[in-house]
């Protein structure tokens, strides 16, 4: 019936318009969805995209919240984007995020109530290592046995979730917590608390690090030979080999970067906004970050803005939940639409559709 024909000249303007177009289309189709859920679509869209930034009632709370929710998305998406550029598909950042949190928190809580200035940086480092180790499993299996990293990294998310449950109910359970699941609150442990750096906002070190990482990754990808090697591998493994690069080393590098950043996001979150290891600690940042990476065109600057937009849908989504009684799932559908429209738009940018003749 239909046939896809690759376009010879892909318009760079159209390619940049993709993310904007998909946000716009998501608003329209999301609005229709909200209408059928019995909510005024204009009010809902305004509450998601406008009120968190502009409304006097909400903005003092929600603007910092956007950065707090955006930070893990940006951190994870930056790491993932490097792999995606090299055709290394780590989609298990959620698991690496969980393991970063468990590693870092376990270390800090094992020292409780000892106070020392060394604990906080050591905890972050161990969190990063935790995330990295979890991504080394798919890296090793891919390089050694050519096992598909998509499956391994995804399945390891569910393993990590089980370990999270085990930690919450078992080895990290708060001994003073009256038997409730969940660890001690790290915010009440001065040496391990990822406290706010601007009073009253909740903005923590992770937000600052997410900004710095945007710059770091920009330089890495566009100014450093390593970024070029990654791009070369992603575009043509054969040319990469011809250049003299070892693809296995680059695969390890990509998974190290993405696992480490997911681990960093995890430890920042557990020691900061979340406060404790608990069964419901992970809220899907690791998966949403995949959308952020693509919405940001795998470009660090793009990822920054995409992370902010996505965080906006989280914060605005929460607003619609308690102001308009929209179900939480409606917001998830809304976020999913973003990726869906972006990918479909890309299809039309890169291919034209031809109706096959009646043969």
Q: Which residues bind another protein (CB under 8 A)?
A: 8, 223-226, 228, 231-232, 235-236, 238-239, 241-246
- Count CB neighbours of 9 within 10 A: 5
Residue 201, beta-bridge partner list: none
Q: What are phi and psi of 355, to 5 degrees?
A: -80, 125
Of 144 and 238, nearer to another protein (C-beta) is: 238
Cis peptide before 113 (omega within 30 of 0): yes
For residue 87, the minimal CB distance to another protein (Å) is 12
Minimum CB separation from another protein for residue 232, in Å?
7
Nearer Cβ to another protein (6/175): 6
Closest by Cα among 260, 277, 257, 240 to 112: 277
Distance CA 9, CA 12 (A): 9
| Per-residue CA distances from 218 to 54, 79, 147, 162, 239 (Å) | 30, 12, 30, 35, 23
The pair phi, psi for residue 196, each rounded to 5°, is -70, 145
d(CA 194, CA 124): 10
What 3 state SS string does 106-139 have?
HHHHHHCCCCCCCHHHHHHHHHHHHHHHHHHHHH
Our CB check for another protein shows the closer of 211 and 242 to be: 242
Between 110 and 246, CB nearer to another protein: 246
Which residue's CB is nearer to another protein, number 28 or number 219? Answer: 219
- What lies within 8 Å, CB to CB, of 53 at 6+ separation is 59, 62, 63, 66, 312
Q: Find the shortest distance in angstroms from Cβ 237 to another protein.
A: 9
CB 358 to another protein: min, Å: 12
Indicate the residue among 329 and 356 with the shorter CB distance to another protein. Answer: 356
Report whether 105 contacts 98 (CB < 8 A).
no
Strand, helix or coil at 7?
coil
Q: What is the CA radius of gyration of the chain?
A: 21
Nearer Cβ to another protein, position 131 or 234? 234
- The residues, any chain, with a CB within 8 Å of residue 110's CB and separated by 6 or more, are none
Distance CA 240, CA 171 (A): 46
Closer residue to another protein (CB): 110 or 236? 236
Judged by beta carbon, residue 14 or residue 136, the one nearer another protein is 14
Shortest Cβ distance from residue 221 to another protein (Å)? 11
Q: How far is the CB of 6 from another protein (least distance, A)?
A: 11
Q: How far apart are CB 234 and another protein at their closest, in Å?
A: 9
Residues 63 and 50: their CA atoms lie apart, in Å, by 11
Could you please report the per-residue DSSP string of 243-312? HT--HHHHHHHHHHHHHHHHHHHHHHHHHTTS-S--TT---SHHHHHHHHHHHTTT-HHHHHHHHHHHHH
CB of 224 to another protein, least distance (A): 6
Instruction: State in angstroms the smallest separation of the CB of 301 from another protein.
Output: 18
């Amino acid at each position: 019936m239909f046939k896809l024909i690759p376009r010879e000249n892909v318009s760079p303007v159209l390619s940049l318009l993709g993310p904007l177009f998909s946000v716009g289309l998501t608003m329209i189709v999301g609005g229709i969805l909200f209408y059928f859920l019995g909510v005024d679509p204009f009010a809902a869209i305004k509450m998601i995209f406008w009120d968190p930034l502009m409304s006097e009632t909400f903005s003092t709370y929600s603007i910092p919240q956007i950065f707090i929710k955006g930070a893990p998305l940006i951190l994870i998406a930056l790491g993932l984007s490097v792999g995606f550029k090299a055709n290394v598909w780590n989609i298990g950042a959620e698991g690496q995020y969980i393991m970063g949190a468990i590693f870092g928190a376990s270390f800090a809580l094992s020292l409780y109530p000892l106070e020392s200035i060394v604990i906080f940086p050591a905890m972050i480092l161990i969190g990063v290592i935790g995330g990295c180790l979890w991504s080394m499993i798919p890296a090793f299996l891919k390089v050694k046995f050519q096992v598909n990293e998509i499956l391994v990294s995804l399945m390891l998310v569910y393993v990590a979730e089980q370990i999270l449950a085990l930690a919450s109910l078992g080895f990290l359970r708060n001994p003073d917590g009256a038997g409730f699941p969940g660890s001690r609150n790290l915010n009440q442990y001065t040496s391990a608390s990822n406290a706010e750096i601007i009073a009253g906002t909740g903005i923590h070190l992770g937000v600052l690090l997410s900004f710095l990482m945007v710059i770091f990754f920009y330089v890495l990808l566009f100014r450093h030979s390593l970024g070029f090697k990654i791009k070369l591998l992603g575009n043509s493994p054969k040319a990469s080999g011809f250049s003299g690069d070892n693809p296995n080393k680059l695969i390890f590098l990509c998974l190290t970067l993405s696992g480490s950043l997911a681990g960093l996001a995890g430890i920042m979150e557990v020691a900061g906004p979340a406060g404790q290891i608990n069964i419901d600690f992970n809220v899907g940042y690791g998966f949403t970050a995949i959308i952020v990476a693509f919405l940001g065109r795998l470009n660090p600057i793009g990822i920054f803005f995409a992370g902010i937009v996505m965080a906006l849908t989280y914060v605005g989504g929460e607003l619609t939940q308690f102001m308009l009684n929209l179900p939480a799932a409606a917001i998830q559908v809304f976020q999913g639409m973003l990726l869906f429209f972006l990918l479909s738009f890309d299809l039309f940018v890169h291919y034209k559709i031809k109706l096959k003749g009646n043969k």
